[in-house]
Amino acid sequence: MKKIGIVTILLHVFFLVNAQSYQKLHFKSILVDTHNDILTTTFEKNLLFDQPLAGKTHSDLNRMQAGGVDVQVFSVWCDGSFGPGKAFARANQQIDTLYAWTSRNPNKMMIVTNAAELKQAVRQHKLAAMMGVEGGHMIEDKLANLDSLYKRGVRYMTLTWNNSNSWATSAMDEAGEKPLPFKGLTPFGKQVVQRMNELGMMVDLSHVGEQTFWDAINTVNKPVIVSHSCVYNICPVFRNLKDEQIKAIGKNGGVIHLNFYSQFVDSNYRSRARAFYQQHKAERDSLVQALGRGDANEVLLEKYRAEANNMRPPLSLLLDHLDYIVNLIGVDHVGLGSDFDGISSTPQQLDDVTDFPVITRELLARGYSKKDIRKILGGNFIRILKANSK
């Protein structure tokens, strides 16, 4: 029998204690994810969130519990093709779906609208389900519709999605070459923002153009959120925030929640993806004709999984975005907004919602205190929720 060295024993003990330490911290903290698109995904693909969906989606109810997700803000979304008479109805259909999930699973999840209800759900070991409308076009230019969404439980609205609306311009449109009739918030757009502050609905500045961002920051009287965006200086894409924007959010008291999408994390991901799709061009073209671009890409990424995995950025790069924000404006202004089930590629080690604990592990490894990790995982969001309450 070989004699085991004392160093080997100590290493085993160290790794065992470390594993127990990060898992204990993770599952005792309140984890808030401010953006997940599973509501839209299940709605469009006729799936059931409260059934096992491994291999089909990033998320389902049981996997959220396994990953230690305590609070999930479900994105209520439709694209700009849903015009007047359609977008608001679409939003309500998705809200109906979330209510149906909670009514079927009263022992596992509940809809919450404020910090007190959120903490009640956590105490009862239920998923605290919240709603954020992703795209101001869904109010169809009516403040009454905004009020209605708030009454149904919506607690943030992203002023634009990729599409601009009649009162706010998007990051995609402002960064594009096509001339725009206006940039930023119109007078009605400022009324929308003011009404959100009056209601207690958080103003979400993900997806908005730079001019819209500055108009909103200069209009709000409560802290904002950025529900799913990263750092422009690390990955210069139109959806990420420049330093002056990050500093303005810090001054406002707001919180930036990091998006897990590989293309917003890694500046080199797009070129790797382009090479991947070019290599499979003939097959992709055929799939696009049959399924459409998004579904075609999903099929290819699944079929050539090893190649797809090699394209993904390391988890460390996502945390570099977090470090950058902390160094610029402090640990009180950063959180997590995964965009799970709304994105086609995630960093290594973040395959689905069950992998949230690895973030806690890596934050500990980077020297963050337990107190600061609790802020990042959910405490900062809870502070913003309280600050926006009437």
Q: CATH number of the domain that 240 lies in?
A: 3.20.20.140
Whole-model pTM?
0.93
Q: Are residues 349 and 373 in the same domain?
A: yes
Q: Are residues 325 and 260 in the same domain?
A: yes
Radius of gyration of the chain (CA): 21
| pLDDT tens digit sequence for 29-70 | 999 999 999 999 998 899 999 999 999 999 999 999 999 999
Q: Are residues 285 and 147 in the same domain?
A: no
> Is 14 a domain residue?
no
Q: Are residues 195 and 282 in the same domain?
A: no
> Is 7 a domain residue?
no
pLDDT above 90 for 330: yes
Tell me the sheet residues that pair with 130. 73
| pLDDT tens digit sequence for 93-146 | 999 999 999 999 999 999 999 999 999 999 999 999 999 999 999 999 999 999
> Is 9 a domain residue?
no
Cα diameter, the chain: 80
Q: Are residues 182 and 299 in the same domain?
A: no
pLDDT of residue 139: 98
The count of domains in the chain is 2
Q: Are residues 324 and 308 in the same domain?
A: no
| pLDDT tens digit sequence for 260-279 | 999 999 999 999 989 998 99
Q: Are residues 159 and 302 in the same domain?
A: no
pLDDT of residue 294: 78
> Is 227 a domain residue?
yes
Q: Are residues 162 and 279 in the same domain?
A: no
Q: What is the mean pLDDT of residues 184-203?
A: 98
**Cβ contacts of 238 within 8 Å, gap of 6 or more:** 171, 172, 174, 175
Q: Are residues 231 and 298 in the same domain?
A: no
> Is 361 a domain residue?
yes
| pLDDT tens digit sequence for 275-302 | 998 999 999 988 888 888 878 888 898 8
- Range(s) of the domain holding residue 234: 21-268+315-388
Query: Among 248, 281, 312, where does a domain finish?
Result: 312
Distances (CA, A) of 340 to 127, 302, 346, 356, 375: 16, 16, 8, 11, 21
Handedness of CA 273, 276, 278, 283 (dihedral sign): negative
Average pLDDT, the chain: 94
> Is 321 a domain residue?
yes
User: What CA–CA distance (Å, rounded) separates 125 from 256?
Assistant: 26
Higher pLDDT, 151 or 286: 151
User: What CA–CA distance (Å, rounded) separates 112 from 389?
Assistant: 13
Q: Are residues 110 and 187 in the same domain?
A: yes
Q: Name the residue among 192, 206, 189, 310 with its Cα closest to residue 257.
A: 206
Q: Are residues 165 and 58 in the same domain?
A: yes
User: What CA–CA distance (Å, rounded) separates 125 from 218?
Assistant: 39
Q: Are residues 53 and 177 in the same domain?
A: yes
